[in-house]
Amino acid sequence: MTIMLLGLIGMAAIYMAVANDSTPRSAIKAVLMQVVWFGIGSVGVIFVMRFDAEQLWRIAPYLFALGIFLLIAVLVFYDRGVAAKTGAKSWFRLGPITFQPSEVMKPAFVLMMSRVVTLHNSSTPHTTANDWRLIGKMLMWTAPVAALLLLQHDLGTMLVFLAMFAGIVLVSGITWKIIAPIGGGALLIGGGALYMAMVPWGREVLRVFGFKAYQFARIQSWMNPSGATSGDSYQIWQAMKAIGSGQMTGTGLGNLKVVVPVQESDMIFSVIGETMGFVGAAALILLYFLLIYQMIRVTFETKNEFYAYISTGVIMMILFHVLENIGMNIGLLPLTGIPLPFVSQGGSFLLANMLSVGMVLSMRYHHQSYMFTREQEFTSPQPKQ
């Protein structure tokens, strides 16, 4: 029900964004495509729900291998048009349909990380040395994914995988004597890189590590959104203006006055903020918190270690997308091209989110089936001896 409400809000926002776009396109067609992908995703959810923990365990390596294959293939067969426009070699094109293989990799990565951690913890006691070995195993499986995403120039998606990785590490049982220094080191490196991106000599150093000019521009526009409102800061400045103009209750459905680029995808929150105001934006955020609460509740009910890691990975994926997308729309975080789950336009992104939620729903489905079977065993009449 929660996902259905998010989807309906998204379809209304997509219709308004496309209908008010300066580029002539069919708003009805855009919404119908989203409906089709929602339908495909719903079928995918029902299909994934049929897989129990044992079956998910078995297929995890095969799905991971498929994801790696697709990430390699897209480096050769990427959409030249999208690459010329965005600089990212991360999309296939099949006629009128574009497809991002990294979205397929997200649920596969969650399954593989969950399998690695469960297998390690079931055979090895928790000691500092063993915890370091677990981190090494997880990094070994994460490194090829991160490397391929960097080759695609898709830093935003790589950050999503790092968020899923970090979430599973936090619940894996690794001692805080390891987690705290690693977390502190990551913050120092991130802060240092941010500072270096703001000064000329630092940019030269970061270019050696593969940083691009557009990434420096995004950081600059984030730190000073009012500095170049007709240039690099235009998108974020317009999004902030749109959200601010909505005030408490919004300007009304369909009454968009502020032009925001890519409003039907990355900047979809600006549509909701402008037309529905603070009330509508707050309601949307509450729906996301309700969805996350429901997934956490299912995790505690099933009491299965493998499922717990799967649920954590999915929750971190959705939570990172929500925080980053809303954060960049209101100027708290830099632009990274991260869409809003179940709301933004995008077929492969919507399908990946639906399949990921389907894995969590399979926890509830098989747990309830098991409890129903056990109840029948206790309540059914026993044969006479």
* 3-class SS of residue 117: helix
Rounded-to-10 torsion of CA 298, 322, 165, 37: 80
Q: Name which of 304, 255, 205 is nearest 17 in CA terms.
A: 255
Angle of CA points 48, 53, 54, to nearest 5°: 110
Compute how many other C-beta atoms are within 10 angstroms of the C-beta atom of residue 82: 17
Q: Which domain holds residue 242?
A: 2-174+238-364
pLDDT of residue 371: 42
The length of the chain in residues reads: 385
Angle of CA points 339, 148, 210, to nearest 5°: 85
pLDDT of residue 304: 84
| φ, ψ at 100 (rounded to 5°) | -105, 110
Contact 276, 250 (CB under 8 A): yes
**Residues whose CB is less than 8 angstroms from the CB of residue 218 and which lie 6 or more positions away in sequence, other chains included:** 232, 334, 335, 336
pTM of the predicted protein model: 0.89
Tokens of 7: 């989807």
Query: Is the residue at 192 inside a domain?
Result: no
Query: Is the residue at 134 inside a domain?
Result: yes
In angstroms, the CA 363 to CA 312 distance is: 13
Query: Is the residue at 195 inside a domain?
Result: no
Query: Is the residue at 382 inside a domain?
Result: no
3-state percent helix, strand, coil for the chain, nearest multiple of 5: 75, 0, 25
Query: Is the residue at 315 inside a domain?
Result: yes
Q: What is the mean pLDDT of the chain?
A: 86
Query: Is the residue at 326 inside a domain?
Result: yes
Contact 7, 38 (CB under 8 A): yes
CA–CA distances in Å: residue 79 to residues 88, 90, 92, 356 = 9, 8, 5, 26
Rounded-to-10 torsion of CA 15, 20, 26, 31: -10
Compute how many other C-beta atoms are within 10 angstroms of the C-beta atom of residue 253: 14
Percentage of the chain beyond pLDDT 90 is 48
Query: Is the residue at 353 inside a domain?
Result: yes
Query: Is the residue at 207 inside a domain?
Result: no
In angstroms, the CA 318 to CA 297 distance is: 16
In angstroms, the CA 172 to CA 142 distance is: 16
Centroid of chain to Cα 367: 26
* 3-class SS of residue 98: strand
Q: Name which of 305, 308, 242 is nearest 275 in CA terms.
A: 242
Contact 13, 276 (CB under 8 A): no
Instruction: Say if residue 195 is exposed, middle or buried (CB neighbours under 10 Å; 0-12, 13-18, 19+).
Output: exposed
pLDDT of residue 145: 94
pLDDT of residue 367: 62
The HSE-up count of residue 317 (CA atoms within 13 Å, CB side) is 31
Compute how many other C-beta atoms are within 10 angstroms of the C-beta atom of residue 99: 17
Q: How many domains does the chain have?
A: 1
Tokens of 328: 């960049």
In angstroms, the CA 358 to CA 48 distance is: 6
Residues of the chain with pLDDT under 50: 369-385
* 3-class SS of residue 89: coil
